[in-house]
Structure 1
């Protein structure tokens, strides 16, 4: 699962999670979270389900086949949360024989008709109703409440929102809509028989075997999953979707999107077959399932979920053609969820303590795909972003594999994901590509259709490499934190030796063991030395006839570490021009950005504007100190060229934004042309800059552009200009733009200007619509963020209320007051 999709929220997430731990019940933290005991094993699950849209309920009949795991047993414990149970029976000779049971609203304790022994398979029948909306179960940072089955606009009361059903099983919420043993170390085959209104399509795990039209306007779809997988990966999706068909080696690959996005579905998801081929090749395990579908669900805030053969994406995945010009921002998520079909679905973590076995590989797949498809610079940029996410999360005290936690939901964090992915990157670098991918293959083939723990991954790597890797697993998988390194470089003229002194300054008692490459550059020559950092202070000496132009510690830039180095700008300039990796150039740019008045720093920044990688060009554009007149003058022509001609729209957009700090009148033609660019980011930034030199024309352009489809930076620019103008005739455009935005950082940033606009509105209808839109946003905030974000929204609305009261607009003030009181704000 790609949880916590608001990556710009990592610092906020850190404060929230830290606060949770501080306040957590110490008793809960001290509980050892053992792998679930297996008394009975799931064998097969057959569900016959109908849906009551008026009550948001599932009316179900389920046949669950099980067998004792090892020891004889005369009872069965099933998870079944918040259900109405009508009948429980055991199937004997085709008949249902009632069984005695006890039910506490969360679990069914069933007395079997006899004692069953290993190898005996028996089938339990349950007739029930699932009532997810009546169940109050605490969720995670990503799922506000873990109710498993979600009815979206079931009665069609919300304008412009489709009616959908989707399920979310992870962690243990499948048992809200179907009784099961809801643990990740269980595996079962399945049959799902879904009866839905005939106007809707369905999606579930496995293959669609048959469809039957019924006389009451419904249709019954029969889905069959013939390979075992964990209950949390069960999936049901229902809605009015376009199904865009693709294929991989004769297997169905389908994209379920809202009909508006059918023309661009392959631009969004169309790399999926190539990803399937790539991931099959590197793992040495052919895509293991009989089909792969992806579906987009409204109001799904968890990013995406890797349900076996049926991945669910949140609506942010749906981008129009103009958005896709800037690149598919959802492509990493698509890769992430697909790789889970191997790591997580084929081989599943045996406990939430070992969650990183699923999530670290899915996280690292984003790096692998970027490296393969877009080059190492793109992959290394992604690696840095993910590492910064971990480093900024305040998670130094958390082990990667955690047997003590307050709640299983707490495992879905920047440690299990980001840190785990970075650890795999270091492991790959240490053992080499061939061994790394062969060990992955051994792990997958040894444990396929089963569950596993971190030690089984270690054993696979040890068998392939012939190395004892306990030291690596102990410090990275079963330990916490990361190294903080103070690195100093020296050259001794007398002894003709270059020295690297590395101090580990982190607070932990034991120093990290770090295999590291050190490159020494003299002129055009580079010599590599592979060393181990393993003490609090390590000194490495190397013969060098002259003082090196550069000593480059961690030359492959793979360490998960905080590093402080004593390099000069002269050395950083050399590093930018001669060293080999994205991070070498990025480090030089960061060093130069701190002192841009220095001629060497200026040279680095100007070189960076023309870097071969578009990500660094954009990065340097944003870092330029244009208060430095010399740099400003020297950079202008390059910025103007980038703004007009760079092959990447994101670079053009960034350059246009910075041109706004010049005398932009001479760029008016460029700006007016760019306002009509097909890229939302280029058009939006050009419109913003144009507003500085000709506010009337910018407003006219904003009104014209608002007549068409606008999103992203352009929607923000148009909305901002219209809000500043205070034109009530623009209310529909402004409110529609806000309402149509998915839950995101951009939408949160739009709340404040919208609130300011509401103060100016006189129309009661538009005013109430705007207040309702803000209140709806507050309801959508994931649980872990509510304590931080909802009070902010409340304050903005209170300010609106005060302004309306002061203006004598008591009706509008009262409307806000009523909304706040109703929500308990």
Structure 2
């Protein structure tokens, strides 16, 4: 599942456009003295095992009910038993019977808490026999009292989207979300990841809609009442949380991998772009199948995009469900690069091996699902887009982990937590993915991927935990890995490294001083040290075993650079005390993305230095677009040397760079100069197909001449997305009034979290100065909703700060009613749970 990471990234990348705001706030701090943290979260005992689950369901769109019939076949796990307990959340249980010789015999049951049902079986069953229970029930998801989390913001399992069609231009859909334990909100089951069952799901739906579920579509039958019955069968065992259904007006694009179906389900208006959105999927399946030496196991792979999804995406077995942010037009995809949508597609597919084929036996061991999926994003980026893209993606993930409060106190395998969904965090995802990359680097690709193959084949269609991964990698490599797993999987934190250097000319000795300054455990760290001297690079494989270590190297001449962690894989926070000259040398000679990234960082604060200027100007033409953007944003154009050297390069980049985001960054940099000579360049850029380029150009024109920008902005109202939408709001917040307000409010309300937070400051500015008090109160209400909805991500101080600014503006306008509304909104956000 892409959960915590996706939603928090969407929110906080939006916030970052308006203010310096750390993604650290995306993870709520642990509660002090929380008694739930003292509970050891053992793997639940297996009394009964699921064998097969058959469902026959139909939907009441008016009531938002699902009427279900279920036949669930089980067997005792080991010990004989005459009882069965099923998870069944918020249902009407009309009949529970045992099926014998085709007849139903009612059983006694207790269903007091509306969460689990205790069933008295008709006899004692042994583990060499199966039995089938029939259940007639009604699921009422909208009446279910559940709470979501920062990872998955709702937990009612079954969702009716716009069921009465009342919202214009919004599709009518039904879809399910099982993780973590919400499948039991739409069918009774043993809702634990350690369970595995085959299944059959029969859905009766309006004939105009299509359906999707796990496995194969075995049969379809048109009924005489305007409905159709679809029969889906999954003939390989998987966990209940991976069951799924979706119903709605979707267009299906049929693709294939080898001899298997690959399908893309999209809203009709996005159907023409199915291949651009999902077309890399067959190549992805082939890459993962070959890399793991384990062909894709399931009989088909479908991906479906739904509205109002409660998280990022979900790896339901053979049928991944995506939130609608992956649904983009070709113009939007121009600016996508390896964005959240594409990395999500890679992430969810890798789960079909790690999570679906082999499933974490408990939520404490979620790392064997999610750390692998996070790692796979980097793996695919490296294969498809190059090592720079992979390293940039990995570095962003590392920074998300390092910047998160309390993350360093949490083990990767976590037997203590307040809520199971708390495990869906930067430790399980980003830290876990970086740990796997370190293990890959230490063992080498051949041994590492051989170990993954052993792990998959040993545990296929069953469950896994971190110790089984260790054993598999030890079998493949012949190396003991207890030390690695003890410190990274069963311990918390990370090394905080201080690195310093000393050259002794007399003895021709380079000394590297390493110190771990973190509290808690000392980490054992293998890594490479690359020494650049005399026009050559020499690699040394070393270990840091203690809190402080000293490394010495004999070198013929003073090194130009000593590059500790030459592969740039260590999961650590580091202070690297290189000289400016050494960082300059590093930019031009060390090969990796992070080598160049670190050098640009180091020189950005020293732009009066000639060497630093040389690096920054060179970085404007770096081979990787992300570093070109970084260099553009780092430029101090008030420095005459920088200005004179960078200006012609920026002009060229703004017009001809092959990456639209680089062009947009260059235009933004030129716009801030407010030089009238650039006006024609900006106006020409307005004709670009890239929303990012158009948005940057419109913003630049607004800085030069707001009166010209206003009519230009109006001309884009019918076709705008993302950066262009934000630019229009910027123009209107500068020069617009009541005539522009309806567009601004509509645009804001239609944005996802990233868009809303990206335009929040400008939207607040317009809310503050718009001359109609009714409009001002509409804006205040929007901020109230925003602050309450995303309070769990720590946005309340940001939103209430904007409300304070709005109040100050309304007071100046003598609009007491709006000022009071701002106070009331602030209070409501502060009071929200």
Do these two structures clear the TM 0.5 threshold for a shared fold by scoring above it?
Answer: yes
Aligned to 1:83: 91
Within a 5 Å distance, the mapping from 1:94-105 to structure 2 comes to: 94-104=102-112, 105=114
Q: Secondary structure at the match of 1:396?
A: helix
Alignment of 1:549 onto 2:549: no
**Secondary structure, in 3 states, of the residue corresponding to 2:667?**
helix
> 734-743 or 189-198, which moves further after superposition?
734-743
Distance (Å, rounded) in 1 between the aligned partners of 2:469 and 2:314: 23
Structure 1 counterpart of 2:756 = 747
Secondary structure, counterpart of 1:729 in structure 2: coil
The residue aligned with 1:717 is 727
* 1:567 matched residue in structure 2: 578
Asked whether 1:694 is paired with 2:705, we answer yes
After superposing the two structures, state which structure 1 stretch, 138-147 or 224-233, moved more: 138-147
Residues 496, 801 of structure 1: alpha-carbon distance in 2 compared, 3 angstrom cutoff = closer
Q: Which of the numbers 595, 605, 619 marks the counterpart of 2:606?
A: 595
User: Where does residue 131 of structure 1 map in the other structure?
Assistant: 140
What is the TM-score with the length of structure 2 in the denominator? 0.94
CA contact (8 A) 1:79 1:180 kept: yes
Worse-matched range after superposition: 115-124 or 797-806: 797-806
| Mapped contact 1:726–1:760 kept (Cα < 8 A) | no
Determine which of 513, 524, 538 is the counterpart of 1:527: 538
Could you report, residue by residue, the CA deviation over 1:158-186 in whole angstroms, capped at 9, with x for unpaired residues?
23322211111111111111100000000
Question: Which of 352, 370, 391 does residue 359 from structure 1 map onto?
Answer: 370
Alpha-carbon distance, 1:593 to partner: 0.9
Q: d(CA) in 1 for partners of 2:541 and 2:352?
A: 36
Aligned residue for 2:264, secondary structure, equals: strand
What is the rounded CA distance, in whole Å, between the counterparts of 1:697 and 1:520 in structure 2? Answer: 56
How far off its partner does 1:662 sit?
2.7
Q: Which residue number corresponds to residue 380 of structure 2?
A: 369
My pick for the range that moved more, 791-800 or 575-584, is 791-800
Which residue of 190, 193, 211 corresponds with 2:220?
A: 211
TM-score, normalising length: structure 1: 0.95
Deviation larger for 796-805 or 225-234: 796-805
Give 1:2's aligned residue. Answer: 2
Which residue of structure 2 lines up, in the alignment, with residue 661 of structure 1?
672
Cα separation, partners in 2 of 1:810 and 1:494, compared to 1, 3 Å: closer
Instruction: Give 1:112 shift.
Output: 0.4
| Contact kept in structure 2, 1:626 and 1:661, CA below 8 Å | no
Equivalent residue number for residue 448 of structure 2: 436
| CA displacement 1:620-670 (0-9 Å, x = unmatched) | 111112222221221111111111111111111001100123352222221
Contact 1:24 / 1:406 at 8 angstroms: preserved in 2? no
Distance 1:794 1:482, change over 3 A: closer
- The answer to whether the Cα contact below 8 Å between 1:257 and 1:296 also exists between their aligned partners in 2 is yes
Instruction: Kindly state the Cα deviation for residue 34 of structure 1 after the two structures are TM-superposed.
Output: 0.4
User: Which stretch of structure 1 is more off in the superposition, 243-252 or 100-109?
Assistant: 243-252
**1:338 equivalenced with 2:349 (yes/no):** yes
Give me the whole-angstrom Cα distance separating, in 1, the residues matched to 2:657 and 2:359.
Answer: 45
CA distance in 2, matches of 1:483, 1:279: 32
Query: Structure 1 residues 808, 443: CA separation in 2 closer, same or farther (over 3 Å shift)?
Result: same
Contact 1:359–1:416 (Cα < 8 Å) also in 2: yes
Tell me the distance in 2 between the aligned counterparts of 1:112 and 1:192.
25
Q: 2:430 aligns with which of 403, 418, 425?
A: 418
Deviation at 1:756, TM superposition (A): 3.8
Residue 504 to residue 810, structure 1, CA distance change in 2 (3 Å): closer
Q: How far has the Cα of 1:779 moved from its partner? A: 6.0
1:254 touches 1:294 (CA, 8 Å); kept in 2? Answer: yes
Contact 2:305–2:324 (CA under 8 A) maintained in structure 1: yes
2:89 is the alignment partner of 1:93: no
Alignment correspondent of 1:480: 492
Q: CA deviation at 1:800?
A: 5.7
Aligned-pair distance for 1:801? 7.3
Equivalent-residue separation in structure 1 for 2:351 and 2:825 (angstroms): 42
- In structure 1, the partner of 2:296 is 287
Aligned to 2:128: 119
Q: 1:795 to 1:217 in 2, by over 3 A?
A: farther
Secondary structure class of the residue paired with 2:408: coil
In the TM superposition, what is the alpha-carbon distance from 1:770 to its structure 2 partner?
5.1
How far has the Cα of 1:791 moved from its partner? 6.6
Does the 8 Å contact 2:706/2:735 carry over to 1?
Answer: no
Say whether the 8 Å CA contact 1:427–1:436 is kept in structure 2.
yes
1:302 is paired with a residue of what secondary structure? Answer: coil
> Among 788, 795, 798, which residue is 1:789 paired with?
795
- Confirm whether residue 611 of structure 1 aligns to residue 622 of structure 2: yes
Task: Give, in angstroms, the shift of residue 794 of structure 1.
Answer: 6.0
Structure 1 residue 168 and structure 2 residue 177: aligned? yes
Q: Aligned runs of 1:506-521 on 2, under 5 Å? A: 506-508=518-520, 510-521=521-532
CA deviation map 1:128-163 (0-9, x unaligned): 111111112222203223111111122222233222
> What is aligned with 1:316?
325
1:348 to 359, 362, 372: 359
Q: 2:70: which partner in 1? A: 62
Counterpart CA distance in 1 for 2:168 and 2:773 is: 19
Instruction: Tell me how far apart the structure 2 counterparts of residues 811 and 54 of structure 1 sit (CA, whole Å).
Output: 39
Question: Measured at CA, do residues 813 and 628 of structure 1 come closer, stay the same or move farther in structure 2, by a change above 3 Å?
Answer: closer
Which residue number in structure 2 is paired with residue 261 of structure 1?
Answer: 270
In 2, Cα distance between equivalents of 1:377 and 1:792: 34
Q: 1 CA distance for matches of 2:627 and 2:164?
A: 49
Aligned residues: 817
Q: 1:820 to 1:654 in 2, by over 3 A?
A: closer
State the alpha-carbon separation in 2 of the partners of residues 317 and 691 from structure 1: 31
Residues 673/24 of structure 1: CA separation in 2 closer, same or farther (3 Å cut):
farther
Unaligned regions of 5+ residues in structure 1, if any?
none
Query: Residue 735 of structure 1 corresponds to which residue in structure 2?
Result: 745
| Structure 1 residues 312-368: Cα deviation after superposition (integer angstroms, max 9, x where no partner) | 111111111111111252100110000000000000000111101101110010000
CA distance in 2 between partners of 1:189 and 1:564 (Å):
52
| DSSP 3-state at the match of 1:557 | coil
Where 1:133 maps in the other structure, the secondary structure is helix
**Compared CA separation, residues 759 and 511, structure 1 to 2 (3 A):** closer
**Residue 472 (structure 2) pairs with residue 460 (structure 1):** yes
Is the deviation greater in 271-280 or in 756-765?
Answer: 756-765
Distance 1:32 1:543, change over 3 A: same
Structure 1 residues 758 and 593: alpha-carbon distance in aligned structure 2, compared to 1, 3 A threshold: closer
CA contact (8 A) 2:769 2:809 kept: no
| 1:697/1:38 CA distance change after superposition, 3 Å | same
Q: Provide Cα deviations, 1:515-555, integer angstroms capped at 9, x if missing partner.
A: 11011111321111101111111111111121111111100
Q: Identify the range of structure 1 (522-531 vs 335-344) with the bigger mean alpha-carbon deviation.
A: 522-531
Cα displacement string for residues 41-84 of structure 1 (whole angstroms, at most 9, x for unaligned residues):
00111111111112222111111110111111100010001111
Question: For the residues of structure 2 that align with 1:146 and 1:61, how far apart are their CA atoms?
Answer: 22
Q: Distance in 2 between matches of 1:18 and 1:773?
A: 23
Mean Cα deviation higher: 365-374 or 805-814: 805-814
User: For the aligned residues, what is the CA RMSD?
Assistant: 2.3
Q: Which whole-Å CA distance do the structure 2 matches of 1:70 and 1:293 have between them? A: 36
Q: Contact (CA 8 Å) 1:390, 1:418: kept in 2 or not?
A: yes
